[in-house]
């Protein structure tokens, strides 16, 4: 039997829903306040900015959490104090962490073919092909509904994008045939993909399934649902799509986010002139 939600937690959840936060963000922010409370074993509303700073230092120095995790927890705690409690506490002594910029992990077309070839479960194949074929975030994938597929226009309506923004993704001919085969077996209604219980798929479980499939396919790279999205964007760029088009298809707010794929596009790297080759190339050696 689940514990009743405290009035303060309910208030925080309502504050976030009023601001149209995604369910993922709601869960993450509530979890952040829980972690703070458990660490000091006292109600979160009794905390001082100095205690919050001690907790954030603990996350960095002892737990060694990733910068993105640290920033998310900090934002959740700050929301709780400033919005739900209405306090003007500042956390200047514990600023946001600078996130290390990493080049995305991308699977080659050959690696993707190996991955999809080892998937025997029709639901898993349909899900992961949809994630790659439409460049979806995992949260968008598990939120897809049957009516979001528009075969007449060959698009997929993505209603639960980041920041609750809607967009359309391209529905490929091959993906449509895979989804039709999936539909014949599972006959989904409402959500396109569900767990055995009929409820929404758990994104953590999906990640574990995909990681297992990657190892089964003999891939040396760590494969996550976001790897499929990275691969989609990079392969679009390799195929000649411009950054603005990819930005719209991925639902990126800022094109700088999309531009990271320039660093992993083999076609762009191969096509770029090398200054050393220009310096010592055939024309440089021609005395005429």
Length of the chain, please?
Answer: 288
Q: Residue 244 and residue 257: Cα distance in Å, rounded?
A: 11
Which strands sit side by side in the sheet containing 167-170, from one edge to the other? 149-150, 155-158, 167-170
From the candidates 29, 132, 232, 261, give the one annotated as an active-site residue: 261
Is 261 one of the catalytic residues? yes
Is 232 one of the catalytic residues? no
From the candidates 11, 122, 159, 162, give the one annotated as an active-site residue: 162
From the candidates 123, 125, 235, 252, give the one annotated as an active-site residue: 252
State the residue for tokens 């995604």: 22
From the candidates 74, 125, 137, 160, give the one annotated as an active-site residue: 137
Is 229 one of the catalytic residues? yes
Is 221 one of the catalytic residues? no
Q: Residue 214 and residue 202: Cα distance in Å, rounded?
A: 19
From the candidates 125, 229, 230, 235, give the one annotated as an active-site residue: 229
Indicate the Cα dihedral angle 230, 233, 235, 241, nearest 10°: -170
Is 124 one of the catalytic residues? no
Is 100 one of the catalytic residues? no
From the candidates 9, 11, 167, 226, give the one annotated as an active-site residue: 226
Give every CB contact of residue 222 below 8 A, 6+ residues apart in sequence: 105, 211, 214
Indicate the Cα dihedral angle 217, 218, 220, 222, nearest 10°: 30
Count Cβ neighbours within 10 Å for each residue of 174-195 and write b for 16 or more, e otherwise. ebeebbeebeeeeebeebbbbe
**Positions marked catalytic:** 137, 162, 226, 229, 252, 261
């Amino acid at each position: 039997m689940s514990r009743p939600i405290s009035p303060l937690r309910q208030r925080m959840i309502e504050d976030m829903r009023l601001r149209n936060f995604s369910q993922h963000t709601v869960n993450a922010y509530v979890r952040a306040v829980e972690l703070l409370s458990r660490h000091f074993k006292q109600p979160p509303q009794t905390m001082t900015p100095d205690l919050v700073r001690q907790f954030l230092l603990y996350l960095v120095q002892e737990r060694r959490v990733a910068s993105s995790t640290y920033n998310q927890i900090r934002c959740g705690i700050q929301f709780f104090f400033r919005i739900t409690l209405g306090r003007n506490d500042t956390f200047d002594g514990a600023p946001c962490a600078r996130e290390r910029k990493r080049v995305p992990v991308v699977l080659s077309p050959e690696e993707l073919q190996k991955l999809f070839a080892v998937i025997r479960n029709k639901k898993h194949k349909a899900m992961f092909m949809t994630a790659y074929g439409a460049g979806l975030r995992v949260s968008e994938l598990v939120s897809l509904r049957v009516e979001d597929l528009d075969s007449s226009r060959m698009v997929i309506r993505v209603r639960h994008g980041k920041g609750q923004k809607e967009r359309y993704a391209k529905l490929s001919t091959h993906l449509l045939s895979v989804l039709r085969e999936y539909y014949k077996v599972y006959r989904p209604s409402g959500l396109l993909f569900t767990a055995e219980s009929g409820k929404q798929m758990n994104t953590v479980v999906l990640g574990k399934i995909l990681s297992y499939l990657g190892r089964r396919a003999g891939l040396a790279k760590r494969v996550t649902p976001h790897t499929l999205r990275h691969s989609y964007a990079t392969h679009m760029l390799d195929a000649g799509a411009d950054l603005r088009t990819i930005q719209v298809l991925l639902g990126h707010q800022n094109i700088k986010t999309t531009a990271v794929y320039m660093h992993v596009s083999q076609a762009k790297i191969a096509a770029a002139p090398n200054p050393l080759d220009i310096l010592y190339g055939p024309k440089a050696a021609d005395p005429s």
